[in-house]
Amino acid sequence: MLPIRECVLQTPGYVPGEQPQTNDFIKLNTNENPYPPPPEIFDALQAELPKLRLYPDPVSTKLRKAAGAVFGVSADNIIAGNGSDDILSIAIRTFVNPGEAIAFLDLTYSLYDTLARIHGASIIEIPTDENFALSEPIICPEAKLIFLASPNPPVGKHLNRDYLEKTCAQSTAIVVIDEAYVDFSDENHLDFLQKYDNVIISRTMSKSYSLAGMRVGFGMASQSLIEQMNKVRDSYNLDRLSQTLATAALESHSYFQTIWQKVRRTRSRAIAALRDLEFFVFDSDSNFVLASPQWMSAAELYAQLKERKILVRYFKHPRILNYVRISIGTDEEIDRLLTAIAQIKAQK
Ligand code: PMP
């Protein structure tokens, strides 16, 4: 027998959305930003190339300063990660012993479950209501760490702010508020950082800053939490190119704000058009929508769209078997999706 940890053997592992390695798909399945970053940000890379023989800044100083300026938080209250996934993993390894409990909603970002399992943590699933929403503050004294995404996938709505705040106030656990999609909405929870020393807010540059391919995310928290998390992260967790490009992107913050508005306009249009096509569609605070065709199985719709080279996300989760999750693409991509759906519907 090879000495493989039992919890690893028992974990299916995280199943990411399909990432086709060809360019012939309209890709509306993993919530990337359909608009590229502004080309000027690539200029900064040239100066870094000759320095690639040198290790990068282990604590991503410039990047954290740029992030702090955008988020209105001191750089000392920020840790940078190799994607926000890295921040989630660092949080588990900093605050939870194997065998202790991690809590999250019964329908949310599925990586929480995978990370908890491979850590050997026990899992507490917090039940959501019929709209997949938090129905009351979480009281869970056994949990050492609580992951709450707001907006929460796959629905994409913010969790009730009052319940979230009460959860932070009443918990002895560390509460990670995962704000991966927050820039596509009007609210955030940064003010909780001043009020609660057990709160970590995570952000990513993968969605709103069009840099999913670069892998950059942040955790924001009190200095005493950041100090401990810094001991746990990989020694050089962000490479030179990521630090440089992400810093330049944050300095072009206003460009991205325009993009977020554009995505939100397309989202409103997509929701209205899908409802006209007889879908049940949840409202969304994110760059995706969860939609259920009332005239065909979602699994079949997913397959038929894929045949037409349009990728949406289908989850084999019992509570959302008849839903597809659709990332908001460009107006043109969404028009092509809507045309394809109308054709599929007409052929039924
Ligand atoms: N949090 C949530 C809620 C997500 O949906 C995702 C995207 N899969 C992430 C975090 C991961 O983001 P990153 O690309 O920064 O690792």
Per-residue pLDDT tens over the stretch 274-301: 999 999 999 999 999 999 999 999 999 9
Section 107-124 average pLDDT: 97
* Residue 193 confidence class, pLDDT cut points 50, 70, 90: very high
Residue 170 sits in the same domain as residue 224: yes
| Structural domain ending residue among the three candidates 251, 266, 285 | 251
* Closest to 40 measured CA to CA, from 251, 208, 206: 251
Span from the CA of 306 to the centroid of ligand 1 (angstroms)? 23
Per-residue pLDDT tens over the stretch 200-211: 999 999 999 999
Q: How far apart are CA 232 and CA 87, in angstroms?
A: 10
Residue 96 sits in the same domain as residue 175: yes
Span from the CA of 9 to the centroid of ligand 1 (angstroms)? 24
- Ligand 1 pocket: which of 86, 109, 132, 189 to mutate (most atoms within 8 A of CB): 109
Per-residue pLDDT tens over the stretch 127-165: 999 999 999 999 999 999 999 999 999 999 999 999 999
Atom of ligand 1 nearest to the CA of 207: 14
- Claim: this prediction has a pTM higher than 0.90: yes
Section 6-11 average pLDDT: 95
Pair 70, 257: CB distance under 8 Å? no
Q: Is 33 helix (H, G, I), strand (E, B) or coil?
A: coil
Pair 281, 155: CB distance under 8 Å? no
Backbone angles phi, psi at 239, to 5 degrees: -75, 170
Span from the CA of 3 to the centroid of ligand 1 (angstroms)? 31
Asked whether residue 117 carries a pLDDT value surpassing 90, the answer given is: yes
Distances (CA, A) of 153 to 131, 158, 330: 12, 9, 20
* Structure-block tokens of residue 278: 């007889």
At residue 300, the pLDDT reads 98
The set of protein residues with a Cβ atom below 6 angstroms from ligand 1 is 83-85, 109, 149, 153, 178, 180, 204, 206, 212, 217
* Interface TM-score (ipTM) > 0.90: yes
Per-residue pLDDT tens over the stretch 325-344: 999 999 999 999 999 999 99
Q: How far apart are CA 67 and CA 61, in angstroms?
A: 10
Residue 126 sits in the same domain as residue 176: yes
Please indicate, yes or no, if residue 14 is contained in any of the structural domains. Answer: yes
Residue 246 sits in the same domain as residue 258: no
Section 16-21 average pLDDT: 92
Q: How far apart are CA 345 and CA 193, in angstroms?
A: 48
Query: What's the total number of domains in the chain?
Result: 2
Span from the CA of 340 to the centroid of ligand 1 (angstroms)? 28
Residue 263 sits in the same domain as residue 237: no
Q: pLDDT above 90 covers what percent of the chain? A: 98
If you average pLDDT over every residue of the chain, what do you get?
Answer: 97
Asked whether residue 348 carries a pLDDT value surpassing 90, the answer given is: no
Pair 103, 140: CB distance under 8 Å? yes
Containing domain of residue 76, as a range?
50-251
Angle between helix 253-276 and helix 240-251 axes, rounded to 10 deg = 80
Residue 11 sits in the same domain as residue 27: yes
Residue 274 sits in the same domain as residue 195: no
Distances (CA, A) of 245 to 60, 188, 215, 319: 12, 25, 11, 39
